[in-house]
Amino acid sequence: MITADEIVQRIQAAIPGAVVRVQDTGGGDHWSAVVVAQAFEGKTRVEQHKMVQAPLKDKIADNSIHALQLKTMTPKEAGL
């Protein structure tokens, strides 16, 4: 099983400077994440989501993460 802290750490390691909020939405394997990062500037939503999913690929593959709802945005889009 993966923890919220581990998800946050993995995303922040892959996307330096990212602000990440993660919530368990059910059973410890369904998660929701909001990720704000300057690195998303100029990227499509699909590209942004792939950037977030990449460091979690092994946990998605072994079903430690069964569902991951993502909301990604740049600091400007987030009003920061």
pLDDT tens sequence for the chain (80 residues): 899 999 999 999 999 999 999 999 989 999 999 999 999 999 999 999 999 999 999 999 999 999 999 999 999 999 98
> Would you say residue 33 lies in a domain?
yes
Task: Residue 64: give the domain boundaries.
Answer: 4-73
Q: How far apart are CA 43 and CA 66, in angstroms?
A: 25
> Would you say residue 78 lies in a domain?
no
Q: What's the whole-model pTM score?
A: 0.93
> Would you say residue 15 lies in a domain?
yes
> Would you say residue 30 lies in a domain?
yes
Long-range (24+ apart) CB contacts under 8 A made by 36-40 are 36/72, 36/73, 36/74, 36/75, 36/77, 36/78, 36/80, 37/72, 37/74, 37/75, 38/74, 38/75, 39/15, 40/72, 40/73, 40/74
